[in-house]
């Protein structure tokens, strides 16, 4: 099992999730949206699994800095994908992916415990 965590390294939630994985002895790779980039094909796969609305962080500063026209235009999968590719900090995080078909968005110890046990079996 090869897990990949997607996010931005200086995000507090990412730091908590990484610390939890390390404390549990779970091996993973970290993919920083800013440093490592994000290709459209991978983002489309995430959108297919999770939906574009859950992936779009409309509570963060990146969303609030957009002008009203940009926020209004983000009303369908293609527009959301284009916006997330342009502004990767707008993607909710962390996103944990097993490289197959299991993807988890967000962090809580309970959800991570359940996810790890599911992908490990």
Exactly one of 11, 21, 47, 83 is catalytic; name it. Answer: 11
CA distance 113 to 26: 11
Is-catalytic flag, 74?
no
Active-site residue set = 11
């Amino acid at each position: 099992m090869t897990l990949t965590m997607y996010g931005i390294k200086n995000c507090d939630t990412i730091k908590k999730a990484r610390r939890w994985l390390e404390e549990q002895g779970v091996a993973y790779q970290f993919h920083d949206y800013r440093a490592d980039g994000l290709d459209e094909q991978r983002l489309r796969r995430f959108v297919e699994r999770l939906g574009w609305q859950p992936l779009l962080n409309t509570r963060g500063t990146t969303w609030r800095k957009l002008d009203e026209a940009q926020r209004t235009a983000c009303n369908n999968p293609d527009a959301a994908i284009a916006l997330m590719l342009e502004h990767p900090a707008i993607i909710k995080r962390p996103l944990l992916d097993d490289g197959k078909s299991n993807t988890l968005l967000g962090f809580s110890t309970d959800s991570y415990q359940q996810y790890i046990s599911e992908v490990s079996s």
